[in-house]
Amino acid sequence: MPLNRIVVVEPSGFCAGVKRAVGMLEQALCELAPPIYCYRELVHNRQVIEQFTARGVRFVNCLDEVPEGANLVFSAHGVAPQIVEQARGRCLRVLDATCPFVARIHSKVRQFVAEGRTVFLVGHRTHDEVRGVVGEAPGAVMVIENPAEAEAVQVAPGTALAVVTQTTLSVADTAKTIGVLHSRFPALATLPQSDICLAVRNRQLGVSRLAEQVQRILVLGAQNSSNSQRLVEVAVAAGADATLISTLDDLADIDWQGVDQVGITAGASTPESFMQAVINALRRLNGAAVTRLRVATEDLAAAEPSLAEGDDNGQQRK
């Protein structure tokens, strides 16, 4: 059975926070003298990092690698205050590409801790975003990865508590973890709106709808992209066969036998150029027609949290 239909879900690919971070680094390349350093990966995507590396950006994991007084960009995932201090100590000129949705979580953690609360941070403890948020108050933020950890966590009686989450988690899995925390700690303070950002929720909605139409789904994104990995999990939970595609070479491993339709989505840090390259490769291989499935219209600029009021994050990074 030949592949005759490729369904591309929209929205997919770059979110507003990634577009903003990429745009800031592009502008820095135009306006500032090289070299420009970036602390950690600007966004979790190999193609993006390779393209900027080829243009002279130096990605570092430690500020000791950055000469005093150099230009430094903080990634979209944000950084701990200790990194901000180190940059200041080395007289680095900082451009902060932290996504406003991530900055909002930093701000809320500072606020909760100032109220005397211990904060549960639901997320993956090795992810850059989580490391940065924990750095706001290392003794007062406890990372909870899953419902089992929510069941096991212990706090002293009478401790005032709050919960926030990483921005790129699975909506369904996070609800389970927070449900456990709420049942154990009914007075837990929460934010009025979800910390999982709109772009991530839209992409998870999209892949669920896609799974109603096609059996095979390709999720385009990097292995270390949290939101791309979550899209694979959501697709599988919805009953589809889902595969993460990080490079064009990964397509060679797909078994197309019996597959006449394939769905495509892409994580929030996957560039349009890679999506197009995959679509072109599939069309060359099989001559299939491309259709679009739009599940939401994304106006993230309107949803972007304001950093102007009650949030010192922007000030702190200057």
Helical ranges in the chain per DSSP H: 16-31, 46-54, 81-89, 100-114, 128-134, 147-152, 171-184, 198-213, 226-237, 272-286, 300-303, 313-316
**Structural tokens at position 4:** 């005759």
Look at residue 275 and give its three-state secondary structure.
helix
- Per-position x/- string for 108-147, each x denoting binding to ligand SF4 as judged by CB under 6 A, each - no binding: ----------------------------------------
Letter for the amino acid at 26?
A: E
Helix/strand/coil percent split, the chain, to 5: 45, 20, 40
The region of 47-55, 192-200, 233-241, 275-283 touching ligand SF4 under the rule CB under 6 A is 192-200
Asked if 222 is part of the footprint of ligand SF4 (rule: CB under 6 A), the reply reads no
Q: Least distance in Å: CB of 258 to ligand SF4?
A: 34
Q: Least distance in Å: CB of 307 to ligand SF4?
A: 13
Give the footprint of ligand SF4 on residues 75-104 (CB under 6 A). Answer: 76, 99, 101-102
Look at residue 181 and give its three-state secondary structure.
helix
Q: Is 317:78 a contact under the CB 8 Å cutoff?
A: no
Q: Is 97:299 a contact under the CB 8 Å cutoff?
A: no
Give the footprint of ligand SF4 on residues 159-178 (CB under 6 A). Answer: 167-168
Of the two residues 225 and 246, which places its CB atom closer to ligand SF4 in the complex? 225
Residue of 103, 197, 218, 222 interacting with ligand SF4 (CB under 6 A): 197
* # residues contacting ligand SF4 (CB under 6 A): 15
Q: How far is CA 30 from the centre of its chain?
A: 26
- Angle in degrees, 0-180, between the axes of helices 198-213 and 226-237, rounded to the nearest 10: 30
User: What's the rounded Cα separation, in Å, for the pair 228 and 276?
Assistant: 17
Residue of 16, 28, 293, 295 interacting with ligand SF4 (CB under 6 A): 16
Asked if 7 is part of the footprint of ligand SF4 (rule: CB under 6 A), the reply reads no
Q: Least distance in Å: CB of 167 to ligand SF4?
A: 4
Asked if 313 is part of the footprint of ligand SF4 (rule: CB under 6 A), the reply reads no
Asked if 228 is part of the footprint of ligand SF4 (rule: CB under 6 A), the reply reads no
Asked if 48 is part of the footprint of ligand SF4 (rule: CB under 6 A), the reply reads no
Contacts with ligand SF4 by CB under 6 A lie at: 15-18, 76, 99, 101-102, 167-168, 197, 199-200, 227, 268
